[in-house]
Amino acid sequence: MLKIVVCVSGGGTNLQAILDAIDSGKITNTEVLAVISNNVGAKALERAEAHGIPGILMTPKAYPDRECFNKAFTEKMCELSPDLVVLAGFLVKIPEEMVAKFSNRIVNIHPSLIPSFCGVGYYGLKVHEKVLERGAKVTGATVHFVNEGMDEGPIIAQKAVEVLQDDTPEVLQRRVMEQAEWILLPQAIDDIANNRLVVENGRVKRSSQAL
Ligand code: GAR
């Protein structure tokens, strides 16, 4: 059984997609140990509670500086000891010490086709604003393992989504979620839970041992 901790910051629709996929059997062999939020008002915490999953608040504001937060956050994660950490709309940079302790065991969903529209300053609605500003005709979402860089780890899966002429950032965000994010992230978790992925030379491949 793959034990996961899901980290969230806001609405938690990706968290909901994970919980629904576990309930419906689209994700197998997986248990959510806890949901961690950096934001006290996150609707995601309500979603966790409604599912009987412990919600934990870890906000940088509660610590004197980022170093203290990073230490406490990493210690909390080690205490929970998940097999996989899932960043489902988590808008806090993962401390390097946590990346080192959970090498190739942290996944993130990003709302663009990496390496486009990613890195510092590209998160949430801002990504879709930049896509529209640039006039891109195709966007999408990416699930990737997390390394020390920003949106730079090995790519697990991507899905393209069309940009339409009259899109607003909100309309585009919703289409990317519906057509890509809520599908890709549960699939990636199920693939990991069932040992279908291997990382070789910084690239993710389908395991030849796959069932
Ligand atoms: C999602 O679109 C996710 O891809 C994005 O934040 C949103 C969270 O929505 N994540 C990033 O931008 C990370 N760089 P949700 O809370 O409803 O799942």
Burial of 124 from C-beta contacts in 10 A (0-12 / 13-18 / 19+): middle
Read off the pTM.
0.97
Q: Tell me the pLDDT tens digit for each residue of 20-30.
A: 999 999 999 99
For residue 4, what is the DSSP state?
E
Residue ranges for the chain with pLDDT beneath 50: none
Q: Is 110 a catalytic residue?
A: yes
pLDDT on residue 208: 76
Q: Tell me the pLDDT tens digit for each residue of 34-83.
A: 999 999 988 999 999 999 999 999 999 999 999 999 999 999 999 999 99
pLDDT on residue 166: 97
Decide: 140 in ligand 1 pocket, CB within 6 A. Answer: no
CA of 39 to the centre of ligand 1 (A): 14
Is the separation of the CB atoms in 110 and 118 below 8 Å?
A: yes
